[in-house]
Amino acid sequence: MRLLDEANIKDIALGAAVLGSGGGSNPYIGMLVAREAIRRYGPVELVTLDELDDEDLVVPAAGMGAPVVGVEKLPAGDDLLRAFEALGKYIGRRPRATMSIEAGGMNSIRPIYLAARLGIPVVDCDGMGRAFPEIQQTVLTAAGISASPFVMSDERGNVLLMDAVSNKWVETFARSCVIHMGAVGVIALYSATVRQLKAAAIQGTTTLAESIGRTLRTARRNERNPVDALRRAVGGYLVFRGKISDVDRRVREGFAKGNARMDGTGDFAGQALLLEFQNEHLVVRVDGEFAATTPDLIVVLDSETAQPITTEALRYGMRVAVIAIPCASQWREPAALALVHPRYFGYDVDYVPVEDRFG
């Protein structure tokens, strides 16, 4: 167990935005909200699964919707508390702790905010090791853990509780409701015992995010090349350097969908990149050839500061570096891979691990 304070939160938010692969919403807003909660309620305990009892109940908490809307809709926090408590009440057990369901600017931070308010620990693990757009896209689904009972709430006070026959059905119902919430809702889901999570969750994600954030911060302060420092710290590969020449982004069916085009610069001069996303970056093509695909992480960074750029922040003219990072090994098992395969998203291409492409 260790305590997370304001400085830790800042590093976690920054590092989680890298792991978010374009998703997980604005890390800065999440950081502000969590920092306020820690100032008010005190530091938050970060614990490992081994520090809890096997039968303890853990309930992850997150936001859902199209991040492009999240920029304008500031999270209040009461809705998250409401969703979390409604789930505990429905199960009839008090959750011992919370955790992230995905790594991403906001969704790595929301559980810390919740933990601060409730005085419970956050577990150092998550269900993706990155961010993915749909509810069922977790290694927990592949391990047979149910996303139900699932609760979604909004800032008006609506509470929707779903007990669905599959995690994909939760996605279907929740997605159609979140559209009516203005494309932003908060959720509590995938309640599980510590014993289940030990067998299924991706462990150490919060600590990893924090260490990525610290690496970035240090590299910037020491005036070293932050993109390269980050790439080495995460074991990633440089896919491209260039200037964004076009961004097409729409909120459609409860997601932020679209693509960005880049013209190469430096070593990549004369090459063209196409990045496609659905909340998160899904595939990237250089001169028409796939260069990296889901489930590996595709991260767009400011070429100077290595600040991760989420999909809603992509703008014409930005100078960026694109790196690809091997996904957590759990995603490469067949049952998990099927949930997030390029073909699931409509791309007719085999999955080739990024280290086989670049290594």
Q: Is 219 left (phi over 0), alpha (psi -120 to 50) or beta?
A: alpha
- Taking CB under 8 A as the criterion, the residue among 28, 36, 41, 179 binding its own copies is 179
Residue placing its CB nearer to its own copies in the complex, 158 or 193: 158
* Distance from C-alpha of 246 to C-alpha of 67, rounded to nearest angstrom: 19
Distances (CA, A) of 186 to 65, 154, 250: 9, 6, 21
Hey, which residues between 69 and 88 contact its own copies (CB under 8 A)?
Answer: 86
H helix or E strand, kind and range, residue 151: strand 150-153
* Distance from C-alpha of 206 to C-alpha of 189, rounded to nearest angstrom: 19
CA 251, 70, 185, 327 torsion: positive or negative?
Answer: positive
Q: In angstroms, what is the minimal distance from the CB of 278 to its own copies?
A: 19
Q: Give the pair of three-digit tokens for residue 173.
A: 């119902």
> Is 162 among the residues that bind its own copies (CB under 8 A)?
yes
> Is 165 among the residues that bind its own copies (CB under 8 A)?
yes
Residue placing its CB nearer to its own copies in the complex, 170 or 283: 170
φ and ψ at residue 297, rounded to 5 degrees: -85, 130
Residue placing its CB nearer to its own copies in the complex, 181 or 300: 181
- Taking CB under 8 A as the criterion, the residue among 71, 93, 117, 158 binding its own copies is 158
Look at strands 122-123 and 125-126 and give their pairing: unpaired
Residue placing its CB nearer to its own copies in the complex, 163 or 350: 163
Type of residue numbered 306: A
Stretch that binds its own copies, among 103-111, 170-178, 329-337, 349-357 (CB under 8 A): 170-178
Q: In angstroms, what is the minimal distance from the CB of 157 to its own copies?
A: 5
* Distance from C-alpha of 304 to C-alpha of 302, rounded to nearest angstrom: 6
- Taking CB under 8 A as the criterion, the residue among 157, 270, 288, 334 binding its own copies is 157
φ and ψ at residue 78, rounded to 5 degrees: -60, -35
Stretch that binds its own copies, among 107-115, 167-175, 221-229, 298-306 (CB under 8 A): 167-175
> Is 163 among the residues that bind its own copies (CB under 8 A)?
yes
Q: Is 221 helix (H, G, I), strand (E, B) or coil?
A: helix
> Is 161 among the residues that bind its own copies (CB under 8 A)?
yes
> Is 93 among the residues that bind its own copies (CB under 8 A)?
no
- Taking CB under 8 A as the criterion, the residue among 5, 28, 172, 225 binding its own copies is 172
Type of residue numbered 28: Y
Q: In angstroms, what is the minimal distance from the CB of 206 to its own copies?
A: 31
Q: In angstroms, what is the minimal distance from the CB of 63 to its own copies?
A: 18
* Distance from C-alpha of 348 to C-alpha of 35, rounded to nearest angstrom: 43
Tell me if 326 sits within 8 A of 129, measured CB to CB: no
Residue placing its CB nearer to its own copies in the complex, 160 or 260: 160
- Taking CB under 8 A as the criterion, the residue among 5, 41, 71, 90 binding its own copies is 90
Residue placing its CB nearer to its own copies in the complex, 254 or 258: 254
Q: Is 354 helix (H, G, I), strand (E, B) or coil?
A: helix
* Distance from C-alpha of 43 to C-alpha of 122, rounded to nearest angstrom: 11
> Is 156 among the residues that bind its own copies (CB under 8 A)?
yes
Q: In angstroms, what is the minimal distance from the CB of 197 to its own copies?
A: 25
Q: In angstroms, what is the minimal distance from the CB of 192 to its own copies?
A: 20
Residue placing its CB nearer to its own copies in the complex, 162 or 291: 162
- Give 320's strand partners: 242, 302
- Taking CB under 8 A as the criterion, the residue among 28, 41, 169, 345 binding its own copies is 169
For 223, counting Cβ atoms within 10 Å of its Cβ (0-12 exposed, 13-18 middle, 19+ buried), the class is exposed
> Is 160 among the residues that bind its own copies (CB under 8 A)?
yes
Type of residue numbered 322: V
Instruction: Tell me, by CB under 8 A, how many residues bind its own copies.
Output: 19
Interacting residues with its own copies (CB under 8 A): 86, 90, 156-165, 169, 172-173, 176-177, 179-180
